[in-house]
């Protein structure tokens, strides 16, 4: 059964429905920003949309609301909400990031699931989660997507919230390198990144601006 191979992947309870103990945002402000974010995410030229703000200003509440809306529309492919207060669940680190998203994508799309399973059945990928995280992103996400989702009526969205809660600055820098690998996703994908403007995040976007000119990553919403 296809699910047997996927069930062996370790994953974190990172979807928006599991989020706990996060600050709220006034409904009026949340709805206004959500409407703007949804508009940007659905525009073909936008690969990354960055929702930035200080701690406690409601970024996660907005991301959760956007995720819920996109889920109802059937276009939320995956989400990962970090939480430094939930140690031991994989929400305060980056180790389970690739496998968690891969499992969610497999649930979202049957073609991706079958493509992922074919790769997991390769003998040299028995211990895929022991490989470097960069290799895992490529093996578990990028490669299985080749020739999948090349086009479609609606854009598909991945939401990443609270990246600054993944650990220290070194880990945050490493995480942003993994996020930038999503440039290799099919054009139909948009990624909402919600976090504080930490140096590691800003420097990563700087590198993306220098390297990629085909979509606009410089969309900031100040809270």
Domains defined along the chain, listed by start: 2-17+41-222 (3.40.50)
User: Looking at 42-51, 85-94, 106-115, which range is the least confident one?
Assistant: 42-51
Check residue 222 and give its pLDDT: 36
If one compares 223 and 165, the residue with the highest pLDDT of the two is 165
> Where residue 152 falls among pLDDT bands split at 50, 70, 90?
low
Token pair belonging to 198: 């930490």
Check residue 5 and give its pLDDT: 86
The answer on pLDDT for 140 being more than 90 is yes
Give the residue-averaged pLDDT of 56-68: 87
User: Looking at 99-108, 133-142, 144-153, which range is the least confident one?
Assistant: 144-153
The answer on pLDDT for 217 being more than 50 is no
Contact 109/75 with Cβ under 8 angstroms?
no
pTM of the model: 0.89
The answer on pLDDT for 176 being more than 80 is yes
Kindly give, in sequence order, each residue whose CB lies less than 8 Å from that of residue 161, ignoring residues fewer than 6 positions away.
Answer: 16, 59, 60, 63, 64, 79, 80, 81, 82, 194, 195
Give the residue-averaged pLDDT of 112-132: 93
Give the residue-averaged pLDDT of 90-94: 96
If one compares 153 and 60, the residue with the highest pLDDT of the two is 60
The answer on pLDDT for 66 being more than 70 is yes
User: Looking at 15-24, 186-195, 207-216, which range is the least confident one?
Assistant: 207-216
Mean pLDDT of the chain: 85
Give the residue-averaged pLDDT of 51-67: 85
Per cent of the chain over pLDDT 90 is: 55
Check residue 208 and give its pLDDT: 65
> Where residue 220 falls among pLDDT bands split at 50, 70, 90?
very low
């Amino acid at each position: 059964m296809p699910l047997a191979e996927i069930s062996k992947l370790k994953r974190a309870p990172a979807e928006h429905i599991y989020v706990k103990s996060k600050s709220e945002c006034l409904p009026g402000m949340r709805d206004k920003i959500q409407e703007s974010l949804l508009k940007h995410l659905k525009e073909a030229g936008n690969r990354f949309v960055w929702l930035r703000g200080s701690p406690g200003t409601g970024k996660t509440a907005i991301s959760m609301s956007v995720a819920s809306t996109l889920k109802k529309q059937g276009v939320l492919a995956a989400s990962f909400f970090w939480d430094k207060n939930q140690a031991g669940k994989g929400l305060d680190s980056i180790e389970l990031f690739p496998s968690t998203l891969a499992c969610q994508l497999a649930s979202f799309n049957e073609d991706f699931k079958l493509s992922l399973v074919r790769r997991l059945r390769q003998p040299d990928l028995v211990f895929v989660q022991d490989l470097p995280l960069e290799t895992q992103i490529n093996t578990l996400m990028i490669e299985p997507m080749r020739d999948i989702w090349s086009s479609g009526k609606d854009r598909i969205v991945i939401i990443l919230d609270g990246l600054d809660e993944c650990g220290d600055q070194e880990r945050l820098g490493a995480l942003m390198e993994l996020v930038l690998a999503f440039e290799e996703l099919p054009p139909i994908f948009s990624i909402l990144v919600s976090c504080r403007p930490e140096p590691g995040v800003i420097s990563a976007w700087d590198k993306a601006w220098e390297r990629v000119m085909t979509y606009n990553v410089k969309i900031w919403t100040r809270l």
